[in-house]
Structure 1
Amino acid sequence: MTKRVLLGMLTPSSNTVLEPVTQAMVAGLPEVSAHFGRFKVTEIALSDTALKQFDDTEILRAAELLAHAKVDVISWNGTSSGWLGFEADERLCERITAATGIPANTSMLALNEILAAKGAKTLGYVTPYLDAVQEKIVANYAALGHACKGDRHLNLQDNFSFSEVTAEQLSAMTRDVAAEKPDAIAVICTNLRAAPLVEKLEAETGIPIYDTIATSVWKSLKMAGVDTRRVTGWGSLFRDL
């Protein structure tokens, strides 16, 4: 019997997109399965109440439950460090591994690794977030050396509402950003249905598009020793890196 590869994913409680999309991405890998743990996240904003949702205590509790499934890796499949600061994810990964003995990653740290590997100097953004949240994300990426070149966001706050943004809206937003010719486009949110559109939109625009559900899956597979090139139809990320 081929050794199973079990991917653990930490998921916002109100998210309805990343689970089916993640399952679809790994569907062609018979030895790989994804397993999910939830903790409370219902809104994305900069208020004290919204920021407290990402307290490590709740995330670690969910991670410890995932560890019972003997997963090979645990990923925070979320984008909160985009506005909290990337050191929040670095600290979280350290704490997850210390508590569970399982290597950890996050969607955003994976995205940062990808952008560095590709040498992206300019970055376009597609997100559902509020203006204030988006400003934090753009500033944090500018500090990493990725200048903003194209930004479309929807000024939404309710996390569930992100999942109801249509494929037509997401495609139009991505095309608008692509028109500004950034080195890469980041779709930052793991409750948007953008990942299934990436292959077509990359072919159309000629620009690499990195969806944060995909970055989490990519990094998790790499950490588990799975050849990411076996994931087909989900964009250049899995072929090129």
Structure 2
Amino acid sequence: MARIGLITPSSNTILEPETCRMLRDVDDVSAHFARFSVLKIGTDKEAIGQFNLESQLAAAELLADCKPDVIAWCGTSGGWMGLDQDRLLCEEITAHTGLPATTAALAQIEAFKRLGTRTYALVTPYLSDIQSRILETFAAEGFEGVAEEHLEDPGNFSFATYGEERIAGMVRRVAEAGPDAISIFCTNFNGVRIAPGLEAELGIPVIDSTALTLWHALVLAGADPAIVPGQGALFRTS
């Protein structure tokens, strides 16, 4: 039995039900969740302060009580706060719990590498300054953003209110730039169910952050991601 520990933003309503749905028909893998307070996404002091190490570690330590094989921070904050922030978080989680750790942003970088991605397109619900920082963060890792769409929403709860058709339209438009991959970069956005179908339609890997984080957690837990049915090319890499 592989147990996956997932730290969730408190106002996120997509991640938990969709992760459980993806694992519904998977034997010997269970998902377990802990939350800390995240109410809005922005670059102001209050918004950035939500992602303090103390709150995240407290959630990780609670998850450790159920003896998971891995702990993942299921937030994309490393995209605009910098990947060093996420790397430090993972180091501290491991130091406090003895468990391997990852984040949605670090998983995105690993996914790009596994898929041989050089160029990508970015789809999010975020504000312009958040979007710009994500593009800069990924560029520093060697990945070129060739198209992007965002919704100028400070969220976080509201991100889940956008329908799949609207998000699919965003994905189809950025696909016109011919990227190697498309990232739907938010774990509270309705991209997880439509990503596999869009990938088949467009012939381009479409990577949703909720599925992405589960993928990397499974890899770190020593499980084969291919056991999760109905997913795209990423789940066939390990």
Q: TM-score, normalised by structure 1?
A: 0.96
Alpha-carbon distance between aligned partners in 1 of 2:116 and 2:225, rounded to the nearest angstrom: 20
Other-structure match for 2:175: 178
Which of the numbers 71, 77, 92 marks the counterpart of 2:74? Answer: 77
Q: Do residues 68 (structure 1) and 68 (structure 2) align?
A: no
Taking the aligned partners of 1:109 and 1:56, their CA distance within structure 2 comes to 16
- SS of match in other structure, 2:99: coil
Q: Which runs of 5+ in 2 are unaligned?
A: none
Q: Match for residue 189 of structure 1? A: 186
Q: How does 1:73-222 map to 2 (within 5 A)?
A: 73-222=70-219
Q: Does the CA-based 8 Å contact 2:115-2:234 persist in structure 1? A: no
Kindly report which structure 2 residues correspond to 1:10-25, keeping only aligned pairs within 5 A, or say none: 10-25=7-22
RMSD of equivalent CA atoms: 0.9
Instruction: State the partner residue of 2:38.
Output: 41
Cα distance, 1:237 vs. partner? 1.1
Deviations 1:95-133 (A, max 9, x none): 001111111111111110111222211110010000000
Determine the C-alpha separation between the residues in 2 that align with 1:98 and 1:239: 31
For residues 196 and 96 of structure 1, what CA distance do their matches in structure 2 show?
Answer: 30
The 8 Å contact of residues 71 and 101 in structure 2, kept in 1 or not, is answered as yes
| Distance (whole Å) between structure 1 residues aligned to residue 100 and residue 118 of structure 2 | 29
Corresponding residue number in structure 2 for 1:29: 26
User: How far apart, CA to CA, are the structure 2 residues paired with 1:240 and 1:205?
Assistant: 20
Q: Which letter does structure 2 place at the counterpart of 1:149?
A: V
Question: Aligned pairs, how many?
Answer: 238
**Any conservation in 2 of the 1:195–1:234 contact (CA below 8 Å)?**
no
- Give the C-alpha shift of residue 240 in structure 1: 3.8
Partners of 1:184 and 1:142 lie apart in 2 by: 14
TM-score by length of 2: 0.98
Shift of 1:143: 1.4
